[in-house]
Amino acid sequence: MRYLLTVVFLTCCSVFAAERPNLLFIMTDDQGYWDTGATGNPHIDTPHIDSLAKEGTQFRRYYAAPVCAPTRAGVMTGRYYLRTGLYNTRFGGDSMGTGEVTVAQLLKEAGYRTGLFGKWHLGKYPGYQPQERGFDEFFGHYHGHIERYEFPDQVYHNGTPVEARGYVTDLFADAAIDFVEATAAKGDDPFFCALMFNAPHSPWLLDTSHYGQPEGDKTLEKYLERGLPMREARIYSLVERVDDNVGKVLAKLEELGLAEDTLVIFTSDNGGVSKFWKGGMNGNKAGVYEGGVRAPFFARWKGTVPAGGVVNGQVSHVDLLPTFCELAGVELPSDLVVDGKSLVPLLESGKGESHHEYVYHTWDRYFPNPDRRWAVSDQRWKLMAQFGTTATPSESGWRLFDLENDPGEKKNLIRKEPEIAKRLREEFVRWFEEVTDGITYAPIRIPVGHPGEDPVEIEPSWAKWEGENINYTFDGYDWDTIDGWKATGESATWCLDVVEPGTYTVKLSYGCRPLDAGGVLRISSGDSSVEHAVKATTTAEQFGVFDAGTIVLKKGDVAMKAEVVSAPGRELMRLNGIHLERVK
């Protein structure tokens, strides 16, 4: 369902409500709690990020989700991601339900100009894109990561694919600066600017261009000289490049006279991937130890948020929507279930020893479950379990930590405190059952014939594939393939939502060794089908685009199947995508 967006401007005596601030939300990708100087790292240079902690308030126990798309769904909706239908970071499970109300929609209704620059990762098809979810301006990418940091070619502007010149971290920051300047020049409307850096997510690339590489190498060499291994030096270098750009954005606020009118929040989307120095913390991204779910979080509003403040109470990424709405004077829709609690009281005081009674974490790539990778914490105690894909979950693998006295999660106290463990487990199960109640977790049906995206590309990862030889290869989203298939009947099936029924041209993107050419692939939907004789490319890893003919698609929810008719070689093809375009 879609919620009715009714904006009510609230009044209160707090200094926070005297004037609605601009909101600058900066989020990095895979930066750990320990990857800043302000959080104690003696090896990394992050002076501009550190200044936000010094000039504002630091939240010591801010929790994100274990991985990126779930956190982003929580930030945008104020709701734990499992409520939104999102459950994955790929395979089509990284699309946030279209019935969700976003913070951008609420702020836009309240008169804010809204922009997002960088990583979205909440849906790539029509209806799911940022400019359709409340953002006036979007420049960035849909996927979990991009392959090229220099001259990026997986980026979009308001739904249109574009190319860009330069280094991607600089590009996103410059776009945010231009958005802020343009908004300031237009008049009195406040802005909500979400600057969502894709760094320091892999691939850990500094400048690779002919002219830029020497400068990028200087930063890398600095960290190698400090004794960091190459992998860690690359990550630290990417973080420092983010810091340089944070400095540019903060300087622009000063230049425009907006520093005292703008709440700046800096954080990351999950735990860290770096391992050289972790300040005694346990775990990394994708896990539920503290190192997988705690992230840096600094809030600065000059003259309003106390400088040097420290909040020790546990807070969550789902708190951001109610915080921004309270500051904007927006009442939340009455029928909207929000998990977050406004951080405004903590921001006002610059301190706080409690906020949420419980914070919850869960993550399983393929299907949500309450047993394999989960955690729940109160202000002192944390119960968790983390089982690999080959392990069978059992209570023997549960761990209970006293975070007040053992923040590094070294000593399992579950045998000593079984009643505390029982209470926490019961609370986690209660929460899990509530947030998953009535929700079906599956890839969304891909919109076909949508006026905003015709033709549409059908990605391999969204398929359900069947066959002894068939294989799905993940390689940077846009280069994924379905390959290996050769036996008659081996197939891949996609679920479509046909907006406009009719005849559609089918184009196939694939690679095929010359020795494997001559096989036949059938594309079908209902009683309509077309067969394509597979042609050779120079190598199976070079993809060409080939016309396959036309099929008729009925309106609504339909299935489309690609199946092997014959394959004379060692595989039919490496299918990189199917393009469907309605015949006018």
Q: Which two tokens stand for residue 456?
A: 């549409």
Element (DSSP H or E) covering residue 472: strand 471-473
CATH code, 229: 3.40.720.10
357, 375, 406 — which closes off a domain?
357
Residue 468 and residue 537 share a domain: yes
Q: Supply the range of the domain harboring residue 576.
A: 446-582
Q: What is the DSSP letter of 92?
A: T
pTM of the model: 0.96
pLDDT in tens, 290-325: 999 999 999 999 999 999 999 999 999 999 999 999
The type of residue at 163 is: E
Residue 368 and residue 249 share a domain: no
Whether residue 186 is contained in a domain is answered as yes
- The rounded Cα 511 to chain-centroid distance in angstroms is 30
**Residue 18 has what pLDDT?**
53
329, 357, 385 — which closes off a domain?
357
Residue 78 and residue 220 share a domain: yes
Cβ–Cβ under 8 Å, residues 347 and 301 = yes
Residue 566 and residue 464 share a domain: yes
pLDDT in tens, 20-33: 999 999 999 999 99
Element (DSSP H or E) covering residue 550: strand 544-553
Distance CA 183, CA 26 (A): 18
| pLDDT at residue 13 greater than cutoff 50 | no
Partnered with residue 309 across adjacent β-strands are: 57
Partnered with residue 402 across adjacent β-strands are: 381
pLDDT in tens, 33-74: 999 999 999 999 999 999 999 999 999 999 999 999 999 999
- The rounded Cα 347 to chain-centroid distance in angstroms is 25
CATH code, 568: 2.60.120.260
pLDDT in tens, 337-373: 999 999 999 999 999 999 999 999 999 988 899 999 9
pLDDT in tens, 500-551: 999 999 999 999 999 999 999 999 999 999 999 999 999 999 999 999 999 9
pLDDT in tens, 409-460: 999 999 999 999 999 999 999 999 999 999 999 999 999 999 888 899 999 9
In percent, the amount of the chain with pLDDT more than 70 equals 97
